[in-house]
Amino acid sequence: MQGRSRIQDLRERRELPRLLPLQQEDVRPRSGFRFFSRRYAKCSISLLLILCALVLLAQLYSPEAIEHLYGDMRVYAPTEHSKLPSLFVKYSEDEQRTSKENLLRWKEQGLQERYLRLPARRQRSGWGPFMQELILNTYLANRIDRIFVLDNFTWHEDGWMDYVDHRQGQYSMPVQIPVSAVIRAVTPAGVDPQMIRAVGKDLWDEACPRGRMVHGLEAPPVVGRHLQASMPLKEDVSDSRSQCLELYEFPSTSNDMGSTLLDIWPTLSNSSILTHFGWSPLVELAFDMNRELIAPVTDLEPYLSSLPFTNSSDRYRPIPGLLSLHVPRGIYQDYCRGLAPGSQGFTGFNAFPSFPDVFDPAKLAHLGEAARTAVYHRRCYPIIQEIVRRVDIVRHTEAGKGLRDVYIMTNAPTPWVLELKTALRRMGGWASVSSTRDLVLSREQRYVKQAVEMLVAQRAQVFIGNGFSTMSGQVGMLRVANGLLVESTRHW
């Protein structure tokens, strides 16, 4: 009351002439009607916008609209038949087309059009033994200057792969895969340096309806210990008059005592087969996709698949800090058990005498049955504690300095892999621990994942392999061929 009378007083004295009009202005907006109308307007505009957005979204995502935009929906839904694997048809077609083009180029260059075919063995074999045969066979073709005829990689059960049997009807998988989907076997001649002169088998069928067959066992007595190495020395086989030469029932090499392969090492390692060995774009793409998972990079580096091919040692440089472990399980349980009675040594290229962890069965001769079995078990089928112990030893060697990432190549069941990963993490000092089970792979890459892992292992700063696995042997071979220190290739 007092305040009001004071204002009245002031007004009367005309001391505050503008005060009242101002007050009135201030009050007016708070009048009920105007306040409500603003809020109402805001609300209705928002509602209208939301409605519009909803209508628009419904329009965009209606099946009719998608069909209208993209035509046949199936093209964009490859998972519709997710159970059916890729048959690699495009790769086969590309292999054939490139083979044809290369033949023309070689003719222009005046190279001899003579073929060598060694039918792939049809027994159960995984990628490791298949690749070993392939390397040796292409080596033979190279030495007698013949075009190598590529068969598809036809796979069967192996300790490595997630094998799926057709006959059980549960799943299906491609029975054959063109070799060029795994390695750089058929690349355009004259573009990149070539690993080998090779063509797909379909071309052989055209060019050589009646090839000259030579039975492997009828081949003349061999000089030296290794058939593929010594074959070129025999006139009978390197006979230049027969355009098409096929060797069948050729003795297999995968079960040989390792040292026999080493006889050919000096020439093999210098041949283009190893100096220009490369993995297929499909495999390299899978590597790029999983690069961060395998060993996180500190500096940005170009994607492998984006680089032009130069040579093997340039392309597959070591990845610093990466430790790769090869721990095959599955059928290896039985396989490893069967090694002790036969006093089996390391297979294939695992037996390089310069590798640090040589294995000499003769030294076990004085041991009892049980002790020998235990040694084989530890070296072929190590348990988690043994793996951790070995990794710890390797970490403290000169070659193992600065290791910070672990990648485990394995076909073991996921729970076991998790246990192993936990045990490794508990050691401390690792920035990342990952395994085969973590890989992100496309529908086709699933079937070439062993090759992806070989690429990883080949580039690891240190690799610990299984001395009785041809696949580990191939990895060791590629590492030595690319000039990595032998001390960096270890075995269990």
Please tell me the distance from the alpha carbon of residue 472 to that of residue 380, in angstroms, as a whole number: 12
Residue 153, phi then psi, degrees to nearest 5: -75, 110
Which residue, 121 or 337, has its beta carbon nearer to ligand NAG?
121
For the chain, the straight-line distance linking the first and the last C-alpha, in angstroms and rounded, comes to: 99
Burial of 35 (0-12, 13-18, 19+ CB in 10 A): exposed
Q: Which residue is nearest to ligand NAG (CB)?
A: 201
Find tokens 């069965």 and name the residue: 361
- Interface residue with ligand NAG among 243, 259, 275, 432 (CB under 6 A) is 275
- Interface residue with ligand NAG among 8, 172, 240, 270 (CB under 6 A) is 270
Please tell me the distance from the alpha carbon of residue 11 to that of residue 241, in angstroms, as a whole number: 128
Give the H or E element holding residue 236.
helix 235-238
> Scanning residues 81 to 100, which ones bind ligand NAG (CB under 6 A)?
87-89, 92
172 touches ligand NAG (CB under 6 A): no
Interaxial angle between packed helices 32-61 and 63-70, expressed in degrees from 0 to 180 and rounded to the nearest 10: 50
- Interface residue with ligand NAG among 242, 311, 373, 432 (CB under 6 A) is 311
CB 465 within 8 A of CB 326: yes
202 touches ligand NAG (CB under 6 A): yes
Please tell me the distance from the alpha carbon of residue 56 to that of residue 165, in angstroms, as a whole number: 49
Which residue, 8 or 310, has its beta carbon nearer to ligand NAG?
310
201 touches ligand NAG (CB under 6 A): yes
Tokens of 149: 């005829």
152 touches ligand NAG (CB under 6 A): yes
272 touches ligand NAG (CB under 6 A): no
Please tell me the distance from the alpha carbon of residue 162 to that of residue 282, in angstroms, as a whole number: 19
Residue 269, phi then psi, degrees to nearest 5: -65, -25
Please tell me the distance from the alpha carbon of residue 224 to that of residue 100, in angstroms, as a whole number: 37
Which residue, 11 or 90, has its beta carbon nearer to ligand NAG?
90
Find tokens 């048809």 and name the residue: 89
Shortest reach from residue 189's CB to ligand NAG, in Å: 18
- Interface residue with ligand NAG among 260, 313, 373, 442 (CB under 6 A) is 313
Which residue, 311 or 397, has its beta carbon nearer to ligand NAG?
311
Total binding residues toward ligand NAG, as defined by CB under 6 A = 18
176 touches ligand NAG (CB under 6 A): yes
Q: Which stretch binds ligand NAG (CB under 6 A): 9-17, 57-65, 247-255, 263-271?
A: 263-271
Which residue, 268 or 323, has its beta carbon nearer to ligand NAG?
268
Reduced to 3 states, what is the DSSP secondary structure of residue 430? Answer: coil
- Interface residue with ligand NAG among 108, 314, 392, 419 (CB under 6 A) is 314
Please tell me the distance from the alpha carbon of residue 404 to that of residue 382, in angstroms, as a whole number: 22
180 touches ligand NAG (CB under 6 A): no
Per-residue contact flags (x/-) with ligand NAG for residues 371 to 410, judged by CB under 6 A: ----------------------------------------
243 touches ligand NAG (CB under 6 A): no
- Interface residue with ligand NAG among 242, 243, 269, 397 (CB under 6 A) is 269
Q: Which stretch binds ligand NAG (CB under 6 A): 234-242, 308-316, 337-345, 391-399?
A: 308-316
Q: Report residue 337 CA to chain centroid gap.
A: 29
Reduced to 3 states, what is the DSSP secondary structure of residue 215? Answer: strand
Please tell me the distance from the alpha carbon of residue 141 to that of residue 121, in angstroms, as a whole number: 17
Residues that bind ligand NAG (CB under 6 A): 87-89, 92, 151-152, 176, 178, 201-202, 266, 269-270, 275, 310-311, 313-314
